[in-house]
Chains A and B, each alone.
Chain A
Amino acid sequence: MELIDQKTKTIMEGCKNRALAAGLDLPLDTLEYIVTNRDLIKLSPKVMIPTLYDYWVNDVEILKESGRYKLYPSNPYETVINTRPPISFYNDNNPDWLNIMIFYHVLAHIDFFRTNTLFANTWNDDFVGKALADKRLIESFRSKYGRWVDYVIEFARSIDNICAYFKELPKINLFPEQEPGKKLEYLINIFLPEVKKLNNIEILKYIDKYNYYCELNKETAENLFFADIINIFPEFDSYFEKYETIPDKNSDLLEFLNEYSPFLNRKENQWMKSILTIIRDTALYFAPQMRTKIMNEGWASYWHNELFLTDDRISTHETQYAKINAGVTSISRIGLNPYAIGLRLFEYIKDKADRGAFSLEYDRISDIDNRLNYNKNTGQGLNFIFKIKSHFSDFNFINTFVDQEFVDRYNLFVVGKRLDEDRNVIQYYIKSRKAEDYKQMLIDSMYHPPLIRVNIEKTTEDNLYLEHEFEGKQLYKPYIGDTLMGIEFLWGSQVSLETTEIRVEKTKEEKVGEQKKFIYDRVLYVMKDKKLSKTKL
Chain B
Amino acid sequence: MENSKESKISPEINEIIEKEKRLTENLRHTYNIVLNQNADESLIITGLYDINDIGLFLSFRHDNQTLKLQTLDELLERDKQREKDGFPRRIRLGKFIKPVKGNKEKIVVVPTTTEPKFYHDDTITEDEETTGGSGEGEEGEVIGEQKAQPQQGEGEGQGAGQGDSSDHDLIEDAFDLGKIITQKFHLPNLQPKGKKLSSTKLTYDLTDINRGFGQYLDKKSTIKKVVETNILLGRIKPGEEFNPEELIVNPKDQIFRILSPEKDFEAQAVVFFLRDYSGSMMGEPTEVVVTQHLFIYSWLMFQYQNQVSTRFIVHDTAAKEVPDFYTYYKSNVAGGTNVYPAYELVAQIIEKEQLYRENNIYVFHGTDGDDWEENGQKSIAAVRKMLTYINRMGITVAKNSWGSDDRKTIVEKYFEESGLLKEKSNLIRLDAFKASGVSEERIIEGIKKLCSEK
Contact = CB atoms under 8 A, between A and B. Distances in A.
Contacts of A430: 133, 137-141, 143
Contacts of B169: 70
B133 A158 contact: no
A56 B70 contact: yes
A62 interface: yes
A486 B116 CA distance: 10
A478 B121 CA distance: 10
Nearest 6 pairs between A and B by C-beta? A67-B110, A72-B157, A479-B116, A482-B116, A476-B121, A428-B144
A438 interface: yes
B40 interface: no
Interface string B31-64: 0000000000000000000000000000111010
Interface in A397-448: 410-420, 424-433, 438, 441-442, 444-445, 448
B249 to A, nearest CB: 29
B147 A332 contact: no
Nearest to B126: A444
Contacts of A452: 118
Most buried by B among A50, A59, A418, A479: A59
A410 B115 contact: no
A411 B134 contact: yes
Interface residues of A, number: 92
Contacts of A417: 128-131
Contact of B130 (A160, A416, A425): A416
B145 interface: yes
A475 B120 contact: yes
Most buried by B among A61, A63, A150, A474: A63
Contacts of A336: 131-132
Contacts of A150: 78
Given A71-B98, A449-B120, A335 B132 contact: yes
A428 B143 contact: yes
B75 A335 contact: no
Contacts of A228: none
Given A56-B70, A427-B144, A480 B118 contact: yes
Contacts of B134: 331-333, 410-413
Contacts of A61: 113
B402 interface: no
12 contacts: A333-B133, A424-B147, A426-B145, A429-B143, A430-B133, A430-B141, A449-B120, A452-B118, A473-B122, A475-B121, A476-B120, A504-B124
Interface in A454-486: 468, 471-483, 485-486
B232 interface: no
A412 B134 CA distance: 4
A334 B124 contact: no
B275 interface: no
Interface string A333-350: 111100001000000000
A479 B117 contact: yes
A450 B120 CA distance: 6
A8 interface: no
B86 interface: yes
A372 interface: no
Most buried by A among B124, B132, B159: B132
Nearest to B176: A67
Contacts of B59: 132
A56 B75 contact: yes
